Structure 1
Amino acid sequence: MVRVSNFIVGFLNCISLVLGLTAITIASFFYVHSSTHCQKELSDPLFVSGIVLFIVSLLGLIGSCCRTNAILLIYLIVLFLLIVGLVVFIIFSFLITNEDAAKAVSHKGIKGFRTGDFQNWLKNHFVNGKKWNEIRTCLKDSKSSCCKPPSECGFNSQNATFWIAPKTGPAVDDSDCKAWKNQQQTLCFDCNACKAGFVDSIRSQWENLLIANLCALVFLIFTYIVGCRAKRNNKHSYNNKILSRKGE
C-alpha cells in the first residue's frame, strides 16, 4: 500500500506540475506577444497561479517519490490551505452568480456582522467606478456590440461606427440613445445596455469558473486524502525499518 499511495500522489502531482508549467508558458506568451491591455492583464494572475501550482506540485512530487515525510507534511499543509481557500471562493462565486441566493444573503447580519451586497457585486465591481474605463478599452479592442447604438433608437448608419440620429430625434426616449457618441473612444460604451450586457457576460463566465472550481476541489480533496495516506504509510514503513535494525 505504501507504493500505491505514493505512486498516486506522484502521478497526480506530475499532472498538476505540467499544468503549472503550461500556465506559466501561456502567461509569458501573452505578456510578450499580446497587443491589448486586457490580454496583458490576464497574464499576471495566470502566471502567479502557474507558479503556485508548480511549487506545490513539486513539493508533493518530492515528498511522495523520495518518501520524505517532512516535505510531504509541508505539502499537505499547503494543500489544506488551498482547499479551504477554494471552498470560500466557491461559496462567494455561488452567491454572486445565483440571483435567489444573492438576494437572500445580501445585507443580512449575524450578531452585528453584516454581509456585503452580493446581488450587485458584479455590477459594482466591474461597471461602477474607474474600473469601467479599463473595460471600455477591452470592449473597443474586441469590436463588441457596444460599437453601435441600440436598434430601437432608429439611428441611420453611415458606416460601421458612424450613426446619425433622425432629424426628429431618437425613435424612443431612452437614455442610451442620448449616450451614443460618434467619437471612437465613446460610441455606446457608456450606454446602460452595454454595461448590462457586459455584466451578464461576466456572470456567465463566473458560472463556468464555479463549475471548474468544483472539479478542482474534488481533485484537491482526493489528492489530500491520498497524501495523508502516503504520509502515514511512510511513517509506518520507517518505523518497521528501525525495529528490524534493532532486532538485528
Structure 2
Amino acid sequence: MALSNNVIGAINFIAMLLSIPIIGTGIWLTTQPDNSCVKILQWPVIILGVLILVVALAGFIGGFWRIPWLLIFYLIAMLILIILLACLVVFVYMVTSRGSGHMVPSRAYLEYNLDDFSGWMRRRVRSSFKWDRIRSCLSSSSMCAELNQSYRMAQDFFNAHITPLQSGCCKPPTECGYTFVNPTYWISPINNAADMDCLQWNNDQTQLCYSCNSCKAGLLANIKKEWRKADIILTITLVALIAVYLIGCCAFRNAKTDELFRKYKQGDPYN
C-alpha cells in the first residue's frame, strides 16, 4: 500500500510539472504585442494551467500522505480539467483553421482579407467598441516605425518579408495604387476608390491603416500563427496529461485492491 501511494504521489508530481508548459504558453502569449492588445486566449490558458497545478498538488499530497479523499478529488477534478483542456485545444484549432495571406504582384509580403477568417475570429475585431481599444493599443507600438528604420528604398521594402500585422496596418493595400515614399508614407493616386481601405489610409503616423479591414485581417493572421504554436504545445501536454492520468488511475485502483486484500487476510474485508 505504501509503495502504491508513493507511486501515485510521484505520478501527480509529474502532472504538476506538466502544468508548467501550459502556464508558460499563456505567459508567452501575453508577451506578444498583438495578443496583449486583444487579450482572448492567454488568461484562459494561464488559469487552466494554474488549476491543473493545484489539483496535481492535491493528488501529490494525497498520495504521499495517504489521504483518500484528496486522491478522489484529484481523480474527479483532473478528469474535468483534461476535458476542458481538450475542448480548448480543439476550439483553437477550429477557429484558426481558416485565413491565409494572398500574394500580390511584385511583392514578397502577403496581404490579408478579413472575410477569409472564421466568423468567431472576425467578431473579435469587427465591432467599433472592441476595435477602438485594440487600434489604440496597436498604434502605440513601434512596429510601423521599425519599417521606416529598416527600409529606405521602395524595392527593398517590396522584397521584404514583413509580418501580417505590419502588412495590414502600416501601409495601404497594394490594389489602391499608392506611390511609395517610405514604408509608412505614400502618395495618394488620383483614383483610390478601389476599396474602402484605400479611403481609410492616412499618412498621419498615428492613423496609417489602423482603421482598415486589412489591419484587422493582419491582426487575425498574426494571432492565428501564434495560437497555432500555442496549440501544438497544449496538444502535446494534453497527451502527456492523459497518459499520466490513466497511469494514476491504475495505481489508485491497485492501491485500493491491495488494501482490500490486506483487510480480507486480516478477516475484516468491510472496515
Would you say same fold, with TM above 0.5? yes
1:66 matched to 2:87? The reply is no
Give 1:225's match in structure 2, choosing from 237, 243, 246.
Answer: 246
CA distance in 1, matches of 2:61, 2:21: 17
Give 1:12's match in structure 2, choosing from 8, 11, 14.
Answer: 14
CA distance in 2, matches of 1:53, 1:3: 20
Counterpart residue number, 1:238? 259
CA distance in 2, matches of 1:178, 1:154: 12
How many correspondences in the alignment?
Answer: 222
For 2:135, what is the secondary structure of its paired residue?
A: helix
CA distance in 2, matches of 1:174, 1:206: 29
The 1:64–1:78 alpha-carbon spacing in structure 2 relative to 1, beyond 3 Å, is same
Counterpart residue number, 1:121? 120
Moved more, 71-80 or 200-209: 200-209
| Mapped contact 2:200–2:211 kept (Cα < 8 A) | yes
The 1:229–1:36 alpha-carbon spacing in structure 2 relative to 1, beyond 3 Å, is closer
Give 1:176's match in structure 2, choosing from 197, 202, 207.
Answer: 197
Counterpart residue number, 2:4? 2
CA distance in 2, matches of 1:97, 1:184: 31
Give 2:187's match in structure 1, choosing from 142, 164, 168.
Answer: 164
Equivalence map 1:123-202=2 (5 Å): 123-140=122-139, 141=141, 143=143, 144-145=166-167, 146-166=169-189, 168-170=190-192, 173-202=194-223
The 1:95–1:9 alpha-carbon spacing in structure 2 relative to 1, beyond 3 Å, is same
Counterpart residue number, 1:213? 234
Q: Report the CA distance between 1:92 and its aligned residue.
A: 2.9
Query: Aligned partner of 1:38: which letter?
Result: S
1:38 matched to 2:61? The reply is no
The 1:157–1:97 alpha-carbon spacing in structure 2 relative to 1, beyond 3 Å, is closer
What's the CA shift string for 1:24-55, capped at 9, x where partnerless? Answer: 9x59xx79xx9999279587546534432321
The 1:19–1:60 alpha-carbon spacing in structure 2 relative to 1, beyond 3 Å, is farther
The 1:78–1:92 alpha-carbon spacing in structure 2 relative to 1, beyond 3 Å, is same
| Mapped contact 1:86–1:217 kept (Cα < 8 A) | yes
1:81 matched to 2:65? The reply is no
CA distance in 2, matches of 1:191, 1:182: 13
* TM superposition score normalised by structure 2: 0.64
Question: Which residues of structure 2 form unaligned runs of 5+?
Answer: 99-116, 144-165
The 1:38–1:46 alpha-carbon spacing in structure 2 relative to 1, beyond 3 Å, is same
Query: Aligned partner of 1:149: which letter?
Result: P
* TM superposition score normalised by structure 1: 0.69
CA distance in 1, matches of 2:180, 2:58: 60
- Cα RMSD for the two superposed structures: 3.8
| Mapped contact 1:13–1:60 kept (Cα < 8 A) | no
Question: Which residues of structure 1 form unaligned runs of 5+?
Answer: 100-117
